[in-house]
Amino acid sequence: MKIVLKKFFIYLLFFFFLTNTQSISRELPPSFADLAEKLMPSVVNISTTQTVVTNTNPFPFQFPPGSPFEDMFKEFGTPQKRKASALGSGFIIDTTGTVVTNNHVIKGAEDILVRVNGDKEYKAKIIGKDPLSDLAVLKIVSKDKFIPVKFGDSDKARIGDWVIAIGNPFGLGGTVTSGIISARNRSIGLSRYEDFIQTDASINQGNSGGPLFDMNGDVIGINTAILGQSGSIGIGFSIPSNSAKKVINQLIEFGETKRGWLGVRIQNVTKEIADIEKLGDPRGALVASVAEDSPSDKGGIKAGDIILEFDGTQIKQMSELPKIVAQTEVGKTVELKIWRNKKEIIKKITLGRLETSDEFSLKQKNEDTGISVIKSLKISVRLLNAGDIQNRKLPKGSTGLVITAIDKDSPINYLKINDIIIEAQKKRIRSVEEFERIVELVIKSSEKTMLIAIYNNQNQRRYIGVKLDWDGH
């Protein structure tokens, strides 16, 4: 009897192992070949050209007007025009040749060429673009019919799901890579509306704007950024399709976006603030300031209020609010649940449009000139570009902010125009927003000291300690 029972359990164990192995093997795709073959005709390679102006001055300084050296070295500073090209990816979403890509792929482009399925090349025009979400919509100039792909539901994508990316890395069109979804709801400091899908599918320069597909062949993400400058290290980021679709539909319909706008500056609710306000657990978004004549100002929102709910949606952390507001219809009247004076109150706000606000206009003006003002440091900066790197012979892949103006009472007034801020608190600087966040955190800290790394006008790398007071001045 014991022998019979022993054999029975052995057979049972073997059966359990076999069925589970078969179940796992069914979940693992034996090959991506059929799926890739089906999707390749819908993925395009994008190449752009634009005219850039470079300064040939080999010296990290300029001579003042009237100087005896001004005429002698004038010729060295003569601006030179040249054609620059860029590569990216995109995908077709209808039979007439509407293409989705990243805004940074076509930014400043004078000519746009789209290569379909590695074969035929077409000219394309811009239908609409949105720098805030880094999305753009193009239209292929042709009467040909094209093979589109459709968007999937990115909210259903789970960590661990298989995905494939198709794109144009380093100009090598029609490249397929595979991986899994590594994380959801990632923020890497590029914009206020970040909600990236993180994937370990290999994504490199030139993949920008290309699609991230699920195993049904639906687009669940738009590949936008990578971590690391030397190539893929298995950490890539994609805009979720559900977020992208709303922007894309507006760009197709209006040629621009129409985002909801509250008119408040917000910050995180820390445990200390929650304790002081008798809120319990830290949650919501703390209103730091209210723009004059904004929807919030007219609706009675005050600095110090904590926004707990927006139109029935709980705000668990500050970063959720801008995304929800932006996706809400302009002109809609919404209810905000506010924590004020240690109790909940309700305020009704009629949303304005972000793109027509003074806040947005100022931001756009600065973006058009390439200049951003860091108010807390009383300096103006612009992003380091390829021309700077080439002219100043900086290391390839360098990132940072070039100082364009410094106030006399700036805490870093000992620096000079054209110095380049490349690090803050030992973190590499890739955007103005990223730098501003670090500065803000330092100002709110107890030590008020920030460590920055710069390239000075002689292109020497230096570390500098910056002391900030409570007001950030």
* Tokens read off for 218: 């639906």
What pLDDT shows up at residue 230?
55
Is the residue at 3 inside a domain? no
Spatial distance between the Cα atoms of 102 and 384, rounded to a whole number of angstroms = 20
Considering 114-118, 143-147, 271-275, 357-361, the range whose residues carry the highest mean pLDDT is 143-147
Residues 45 and 136 in one domain: yes
Q: Are 376 and 472 in contact (CB under 8 A)?
A: yes
List 208, 238, 241, 296, catalytic entry: 208
User: pLDDT for 294-352, tens place per residue?
Assistant: 999 999 999 999 999 999 999 998 888 998 999 899 999 999 999 999 999 999 999 99
User: pLDDT for 131-161, tens place per residue?
Assistant: 889 999 999 999 999 999 999 999 999 999 9
The rounded Cα 221 to chain-centroid distance in angstroms is 13
- Map residue 128 onto helix, strand or coil: strand
**What's the average model confidence in pLDDT over 383-396?**
84
Residues 57 and 119 in one domain: yes
Is the residue at 280 inside a domain? yes
Q: For residue 452, what is the enclosing H or E element?
A: strand 449-455
Residues 67 and 125 in one domain: yes
CA distances from 121 to 39, 60, 109, 118, 429 (A): 18, 43, 17, 8, 37
Q: Which has more pLDDT, 287 or 359?
A: 287
User: Among the three residues 224, 254, 284, which one is the final residue of a domain in this structure?
Assistant: 254
What pLDDT shows up at residue 64?
52
Q: Are 220 and 241 in contact (CB under 8 A)?
A: yes
What pLDDT shows up at residue 392?
87
Is the residue at 229 inside a domain? yes
State how many domains the chain has.
4
Domain around 76? 41-140
What pLDDT shows up at residue 387?
75
The rounded Cα 372 to chain-centroid distance in angstroms is 17
Residues 159 and 248 in one domain: yes
Q: What percent of the chain is predicted at pLDDT more than 90?
A: 50
User: pLDDT for 351-374, tens place per residue?
Assistant: 999 888 876 766 655 555 568 888
Report which of 310, 334, 344 is spatially closest to residue 324, judged by C-alpha positions. 310
CATH of residue 97's domain is: 2.40.10.10
Residues 126 and 160 in one domain: no
Q: Which has more pLDDT, 280 or 84?
A: 280
pLDDT band, very low/low/confident/very high, at 233 (cuts 50, 70, 90): confident
Is the residue at 23 inside a domain? no
Exposure b/e, 189-204, CB count within 10 A at least 16 = b: bbeebbbbbbbbbbbb
Please say if the pLDDT value at position 51 is more than 90: no
Residues 130 and 62 in one domain: yes
Please say if the pLDDT value at position 1 is more than 70: no
Residues 270 and 235 in one domain: no
Is the residue at 4 inside a domain? no
Q: Can you point out the beta strands (E) in 131-246?
A: 135-140, 162-167, 175-186, 196-199, 211-213, 219-226, 236-240
Unique residue bearing structure tokens 């050296």? 69
List 42, 47, 104, 305, catalytic entry: 104
Please say if the pLDDT value at position 130 is more than 80: yes
pLDDT band, very low/low/confident/very high, at 107 (cuts 50, 70, 90): confident
Backbone phi and psi for residue 390, each to the nearest 5 degrees, phi listed first: -70, -50
Residues 191 and 115 in one domain: no
Residues 163 and 93 in one domain: no
User: pLDDT for 165-197, tens place per residue?
Assistant: 999 888 888 899 999 999 998 877 677 778 899
What pLDDT shows up at residue 226?
82
**What's the average model confidence in pLDDT over 75-84?**
58
- Map residue 127 onto helix, strand or coil: strand
pLDDT band, very low/low/confident/very high, at 23 (cuts 50, 70, 90): very low
What pLDDT shows up at residue 163?
96
Please say if the pLDDT value at position 472 is more than 50: no
What pLDDT shows up at residue 52?
57
Helix%, strand%, coil% for the chain, nearest 5: 25, 35, 40
What pLDDT shows up at residue 183?
93
CATH of residue 432's domain is: 2.30.42.10
List 130, 134, 200, 214, catalytic entry: 134
Q: For residue 464, what is the enclosing H or E element?
A: strand 461-467
Residues 330 and 299 in one domain: yes
Strands 449-455 and 135-140: unpaired
Is the residue at 8 inside a domain? no
Spatial distance between the Cα atoms of 136 and 130, rounded to a whole number of angstroms = 6
pLDDT band, very low/low/confident/very high, at 385 (cuts 50, 70, 90): confident
User: Among the three residues 321, 354, 387, which one is the final residue of a domain in this structure?
Assistant: 354
Asked if 445 is an active-site residue, the reply is no
Is the residue at 1 inside a domain? no
Spatial distance between the Cα atoms of 457 and 23, rounded to a whole number of angstroms = 63
CA distances from 13 to 7, 23, 38, 412 (A): 10, 15, 41, 71
pLDDT band, very low/low/confident/very high, at 470 (cuts 50, 70, 90): very low
Interior angle at CA 284, CA 279 and CA 287, nearest 5: 100
pLDDT band, very low/low/confident/very high, at 24 (cuts 50, 70, 90): very low
Residues 198 and 273 in one domain: no
Residues 47 and 122 in one domain: yes
**What's the average model confidence in pLDDT over 43-69?**
64
Spatial distance between the Cα atoms of 467 and 470, rounded to a whole number of angstroms = 10
List the single range of 224-228, 295-299, 399-403 with lowest mean pLDDT: 224-228
Asked if 311 is an active-site residue, the reply is no
Neighbours of 350 (CB within 10 A): 12
Please say if the pLDDT value at position 274 is more than 70: yes
Q: For residue 437, what is the enclosing H or E element?
A: helix 432-444
User: pLDDT for 193-225, tens place per residue?
Assistant: 788 999 999 888 889 999 999 999 999 999 998
User: Among the three residues 140, 170, 185, which one is the final residue of a domain in this structure?
Assistant: 140
Is the residue at 284 inside a domain? yes
Backbone phi and psi for residue 326, each to the nearest 5 degrees, phi listed first: -60, -30
What pLDDT shows up at residue 12?
52
Asked if 243 is an active-site residue, the reply is no
